[in-house]
A and B are shown apart, each in its own frame.
Chain A
Amino acid sequence: MCENTGMPAPKRAKTSTWATKSGLAQMLKGGVIMDVVTPAEAKIAQEAGAVAVMALERVPSDIRRDGGVARMSDPDMIKGIQAAVSIPVMAKARIGHESEARILEALDVDYIDESEVLTPADDRFHINKHGFKVPFVCGCKDLGEALRRINEGAAMMRTKGEAGTGNIVEAVRHIRTVSEEIAALKGQSEKRLRAAAKEMRVPYELVKLTVKAGRLPVVNFVAGGIATPADAALSMWLGADGVFVGSGIFKAKNPAKTAVAIVQATTHWKNASILAEVSAGLGEAMKGIEMRTIPEGERLSKRGW
């Protein structure tokens, strides 16, 4: 498939501009980005209609089960996945781990996810993403967190949800929180917006831009707990630009069929009869975890500052 034999951009062209970084996320809208751990899974994802894959060594539910420190994937594993598919390949770096991000950039991944699913490397700072040529996606659970990441250079956001649970309740909470916090700032005086900016530790201009647009100023996907076509449709209903599905596909009884169904549901989220059709006969979804059984300290969404 894609051997990446392309002749690079012409000499006078500018690469890694804000338009190219945020623009790739715009092209992924209305689509599904799937976690994959092998080239074979990447092919299943592409065949199902995924718009991109997230290459990682263990899906979040396995990271949760295994414990220990979760790190960036082996470069050979990422290369194997890049060779297997022609759609964009994303990979995860630990929060604040500039060097993992540099390695992923050198591997020519299409997007880096600075992800709370991996064990954080820095308990104070996230990566300064402006300093990279490759674009970043970051997680958020409220508006302040989203705008801090965008201010650091993230070109795409995803609401965090609670990865590896197959339980959408946190994902719903996070996208609702972001939307409600933007709505609450609408029509407020400059003084109020400046106070909000100070509280969120971001520039006033970024708050102003967000309020004017009535949404985050970059593409925002929903992630963390999506396990069924209906979950994907609900995410779109709540204003997501697209969905990340982690454990939900390859921990389902029938991954290929579930993947196809989630893709269809993300396109046709408004059409209940199509949702009924694609939801039928998928077999068992991933088992999932009730939130009350996860101690606060073990919640991945709490990581990030």
Chain B
Amino acid sequence: MAKRHTTPIIGVLAVQGDFAEHIRMLESLGVEGREVRLPADLNGVDGLILPGGESTAMRKLLHRWDLVKPIKALAKRGAPILGTCAGAILLATKIADGDEPVLSLLDIEVRRNAFGRQLESFETSLVMEGFGKEGRSRTIQAVFIRAPEIVNVGPSARAVATLEDGRIVAARQGRILGIAFHPEITGETGVHRWLVAEATAALG
């Protein structure tokens, strides 16, 4: 077992994608981010980030290296998990185009590439409910890259950010958060602060 610690260690799935950007975000908050490629890398982590990347590639690597079960077990122990873009697809209980869900930890249905191809990738500002100081809302700059959309939020989860046209782009279920955009490439710290706070709370 990992020795007792007071600041959490956050695992970052590093099979593919922009995991280095997430680790840099954590470091900027004074928190250790640990690359996770194999189940053993999850030992001693108090929270997990599933980064942006190609969800089809990440899905295959998760299965190939038997990471699905241990990640689910980590969630069951109360560790917070953040999924950005492809990471949110991995978390979802349902995928609209018929692909099998991967982790089924967040009660949402996602549609991959919901806005179109790269030319429809975009930046916009949006409001995240509950991610500001003392649980207030927080306006952030969000970058969407061949992004998914959350087309349905099930009864166990709730939407925490929508676009101006009403489409849902972030949803939370307890300590599981899935967002369609990339705070790690704009340097937006609110979401990572939330994750670290939840992980710290879970340490007890």
The complex places the Cα of A48 from the Cα of B54 at a distance, in Å, of: 12
Q: Is the CB of B123 within 8 A of A17?
A: yes
| Contact residues in B for A11 (Cβ distance below 8 Å) | 164-165
Q: Is the CB of A30 within 8 A of B15?
A: yes
B 121-144 binary contact with A (CB < 8 Å = 1; else 0): 111100000000000000000011
Q: Counting CB contacts under 8 A, is B178 at the interface?
A: no
| Contact residues in B for A69 (Cβ distance below 8 Å) | none
Q: Is the CB of A27 within 8 A of B17?
A: yes
Q: Counting CB contacts under 8 A, is A63 at the interface?
A: no
Q: A30-B16, A49-B56 are in contact. Are A133 and B113 (CB under 8 A)?
A: no
**Number of A-B residue pairs with CB-CB distance less than 8 Å in the complex they form:** 160
| Contact residues in A for B85 (Cβ distance below 8 Å) | 27
Q: Counting CB contacts under 8 A, is A114 at the interface?
A: no
The complex places the Cα of A15 from the Cα of B143 at a distance, in Å, of: 10
Residue on A nearest B114 in the bound complex, by CB = A6
Residue on B nearest A15 in the bound complex, by CB = B122
Q: Counting CB contacts under 8 A, is A293 at the interface?
A: no
Q: Is the CB of B123 within 8 A of A6?
A: no
Q: Is the CB of B112 within 8 A of A51?
A: no
B 1-26 binary contact with A (CB < 8 Å = 1; else 0): 00000000000001111111100000
A-contacting 9-mer, from B57-65, B70-78, B152-160: B57-65
Q: Counting CB contacts under 8 A, is B186 at the interface?
A: yes
Q: Counting CB contacts under 8 A, is B80 at the interface?
A: no
A 279-299 binary contact with B (CB < 8 Å = 1; else 0): 000000000000000000000
Q: A9-B122, A49-B57, A264-B64 are in contact. Are A30 and B117 (CB under 8 A)?
A: no
Closest 7 CB pairs between A and B?
A9-B122, A13-B122, A6-B116, A20-B121, A110-B118, A13-B124, A51-B54
Q: Counting CB contacts under 8 A, is A68 at the interface?
A: no
Q: A4-B117, A13-B124 are in contact. Are A27 and B145 (CB under 8 A)?
A: yes
Q: Counting CB contacts under 8 A, is A39 at the interface?
A: no
- Contact residues of A with B, CB < 8 Å? 1-2, 4, 6-17, 19-20, 23-24, 26-31, 46, 48-52, 86-88, 105, 108-111, 133-135, 263-264, 266-268, 271
The complex places the Cα of A4 from the Cα of B114 at a distance, in Å, of: 8
Contact of A14 among B18, B122, B186 (CB under 8 A): B122
Residue on A nearest B54 in the bound complex, by CB = A51
Contact of B120 among A9, A50, A135, A263 (CB under 8 A): A9
Q: How far is the CB of A104 from chain B (nearest CB, A)?
A: 11
| Contact residues in B for A31 (Cβ distance below 8 Å) | 16-17, 53-54, 57
Most buried by A among B17, B143, B144, B145: B145
The complex places the Cα of A2 from the Cα of B148 at a distance, in Å, of: 12
22 pairs from A and B in contact (CB 8 Å cutoff): A6-B116, A9-B144, A10-B122, A12-B124, A13-B122, A14-B122, A19-B186, A23-B185, A24-B145, A24-B146, A27-B17, A27-B18, A30-B14, A30-B53, A31-B16, A31-B54, A50-B57, A110-B117, A110-B146, A263-B57, A264-B61, A268-B37
Q: How far is the CB of A220 from chain B (nearest CB, A)?
A: 13
